[in-house]
Chain A
Amino acid sequence: MTPENRAAYWKANVRLLVILLFIWFVVSYGLGIILVEPLNSVQIGGYPLGFWFAQQGSIYVFLVLIFVYASSMNRLDKKFDVHE
């Protein structure tokens, strides 16, 4: 693997991380803590929305994030021919 390839692979990896971690931050700290009060004025399925993000929604999003990461990385590994 050439150094340029290696650098490009790593850059693509870090880019993916930044996007996913941004979402991770927004659903938990953003919607679940910082914005919880305004969101609570909206009701969803009997839950105040901010409360729902803090106790249910963020967990579902975390799950999706990890599986998206794992499958995107597998694709990236193949593209750069670094898979096992």
Chain B
Amino acid sequence: MSNLDIWTYAVVGSTFALYIGIAIWARAGTTGEFYVAGKGVHPVANGMATAADWMSAASFISMAGLIAFNGYGASVFLMGWTGGYVLLALLLAPYLRKFGKFTVPEFIGDRYYSQTARIVAVICLILASITYVIGQMKGIGVAFSRFLETSYDMGLYIGMGIVAIYAVLGGMKGITYTQIAQYVVLILAYTIPAIFISLTLTGIPVPQIGLGANYLPSDGSLTLLGKLDQVVTDLGFKEYTTQVMGSSLNMFVYTLSLMIGTAGLPHVIIRFFTVPKVADARYSAGWALVFIAILYTTAPAVGAMARLNFMDTIQVGPVGAEDGNLLYADRPEWFKKWETTGLLAWEDKNDDGRIQYYDDANPEFAEKAESFGWKGNEMVNVDRDIMVLANPEIAGLPNWVIALVVAGGLAAALSTAAGLLLAISSAISHDLLKGVFVPTISEKSELWAGRISMLLAIIVAGYLGLNPPGFAAGTVAIAFGLAASSIFPVLMMGIFMKKMNKAGAIAGMLAGITVTLLYVFQHKGIFFVPGTSFLMPELGMGPDWFFGISPNAFGAVGALVNFIVAFIVGGITAAPPDNIQHLVEDVRVPRGAGEATGH
């Protein structure tokens, strides 16, 4: 076992022991504790736990990798996954806290005086949450495959087992305290390497400032971003600071989809049920964003610096010079280790034993490349999701830092997977069984039904995770689209439109999620099963056919459809009964908020 292996086992092992210890210490006894941790979680503590719950494998493992390769275009993730908190704090959290129920479908069922609305909400919630868990599984699979030096599939199976043990043991209470510990681990794991790398490249220890600073290794006359723009365009790639994702319109819609999806995801909303007062719900969202912003403002530096170091590793000399490219035989240790996972792959197209990495889809540069004797881009697979985990190794940081990053990635993936599984299990056991089909179910059976549904969800998500519909962050973006198109509009209308009725809400949810699912499945396959996509180019339905909007960004369009359908259907059917209109007026005023209850 190498020194790095020992470090990794020690750090990952001790953090796991800590989480499991906390979970056992705070094990949930009653259904109330299982779902919302009773009362009395302080807003700062709740904010920190929400941040851990929120920042998943997509944020930790995947996002900076997407930033590294999409530059400015990846801003959609940065703005989308933070700006949603503004919507959450201003439009939903305080009112849902005042309403005082355990789950999101419960609010929808009561507000729209309809079990059907509640069931439709449960279905939407499960679709969004399962898709989200698939994204986590991809991240967990990547982390375990590298850490145990095995294939991605094997890493995924091991990850499924650990998530299962972990999530089934504790409920919300266990999770709240565990998640505070996980936040601390993941934020240290993210910022420490970023500080080291920023110091090396710019001499400035604050990555948020370092990203704009001068690049030291090149006599200090260029900024780091300027240098990066130069390095990537020299190899035919798009300019880092200006490359867009699809088009400006696509970026606009993508950002909107992630923002409203944030405010529609049940596992985040549920967090605001756990604070003692309405005023605390407002501040909790702010504290959550403080803790999230520490990672999100560091991520652009991590992405840019990782890309620069990665390019410099392969392109060791001037572009086109005979010895300008790294000899494959001289490739560093981290390169070999990622090759065993299959997530990094090289193919010697021109048989010169050197690695050429450039954009061969750029016709202008391809011509130039041919004159150098290059026969195509030889890095045939560079999985974006490996960048954060590989970053400290690429930068040559000490082994304990590398081990810490693996532990942080696992903390992020586990905490979110557990929170989502809890939302899925409460939707099934609390909303479907107790709320609709078997109202007489005992507390004990309800808990067991919750645990069994968690296990089923892990198996389904793990199976679909073998062929994920995209990189972890992309898959998670689809989940946000589903939440955006179904849950957010009915929650918002439920508070801000007294006259919105049950027919409008049900029709809106169904229409919104249906158009979104159709567009996503058309591109990515039915339930993401490979080979079942049904794009019809002959009918003008090629990739991104709807105004160039990508399926990952489509949730905002679905949400618009949801609003429009709800307005129309709600307008031509009977207004809600008086008691419901009074309920809405009551929700708008903070005084009189009791503890969260279930029924």
A residues near B (Cβ < 8 Å) are 1, 6, 9-10, 13, 17, 20-21, 24, 28-29, 32-34, 36-37, 40, 44-48, 51-52, 54-56, 58-60, 62-63, 65-67, 69-70, 73-74, 77, 82-84
Contact = CB atoms under 8 A, between A and B. Distances in A.
Contacts of B82: 58-59, 62
B78 A54 contact: yes
Nearest to B213: A46
Contacts of B256: 29
A70 B214 CA distance: 39
Interface string B76-120: 001100110110011100100000000000000000000000000
A74 B75 CA distance: 33
B297 A83 contact: no
Nearest to A80: B589
Contacts of B251: 33
A69 B282 contact: yes
B279 A83 contact: yes
A59 to B, nearest CB: 5
B31 to A, nearest CB: 26
| B-side interface mostly | helix
Contacts of B211: 46-47
Nearest to A54: B75
A32 B79 contact: yes
Contact of B90 (A21, A60, A82): A21
Contact of A59 (B67, B72, B225, B296): B296
A15 B241 CA distance: 37
A71 B86 CA distance: 14
A62 B80 CA distance: 11
B225 A47 contact: yes
B278 A84 contact: yes
B83 A62 contact: yes
Contacts of B599: none
Given A62-B289, A84-B593, A74 B279 contact: yes
A70 B282 contact: yes
B585 interface: yes
A24 B86 contact: yes
A82 B585 CA distance: 13
Contacts of A10: 588
Q: Which 6 A-B pairs have the closest CB atoms?
A: A46-B212, A54-B75, A66-B286, A70-B282, A46-B223, A55-B300
B293 interface: yes
B207 to A, nearest CB: 11
A26 B394 CA distance: 38
A21 B45 CA distance: 27
B246 to A, nearest CB: 12
A47 B286 CA distance: 27
B283 interface: yes
Given A55-B300, A62-B85, A84-B590, A45 B212 contact: yes
Given A17-B91, A46-B213, A62-B83, A77 B590 contact: yes
B290 A63 contact: yes
Given A10-B588, A40-B241, A66-B285, A84 B85 contact: no
Contacts of A74: 279, 282
Contacts of A20: 86, 90
Contacts, number: 135
Interface in B268-313: 277-279, 282-283, 285-286, 289-290, 293, 296-297, 300
B290 A33 contact: no
B78 A55 contact: yes
Interface of B: 67, 72, 75, 78-79, 82-83, 85-86, 89-91, 94, 208-209, 211-214, 223-225, 241-242, 248, 251-252, 255-256, 277-279, 282-283, 285-286, 289-290, 293, 296-297, 300, 585, 588-593
B72 A36 contact: yes
A65 B289 CA distance: 11
Contacts of B286: 63, 66-67, 70
14 contacts: A29-B252, A34-B252, A36-B72, A46-B214, A51-B225, A55-B72, A60-B293, A62-B293, A63-B286, A63-B289, A66-B90, A66-B286, A77-B279, A82-B590
Contacts of A63: 286, 289-290, 293
A9 B587 CA distance: 13
B78 A59 contact: yes
A3 B283 CA distance: 28
Contacts of A84: 277-279, 590-593
B86 A54 contact: no
Contact of B83 (A6, A13, A55, A58): A58
B495 to A, nearest CB: 11
A56 B209 CA distance: 10
Contacts of A82: 589-591
A74 B94 CA distance: 11
Contacts of B209: 45
Contacts of B78: 54-55, 58-59
Given A56-B208, A62-B86, A66-B85, A6 B589 contact: yes
Nearest to A21: B90
A40 to B, nearest CB: 7
B283 A70 contact: yes
A54 B90 contact: no
A9 B277 CA distance: 19
Nearest to A47: B212
Contacts of B213: 45-46
A73 B277 CA distance: 13
A24 B279 CA distance: 21
Q: Tell which of A33, A62, A63 has the most Cβ of chain B within 10 Å.
A: A62
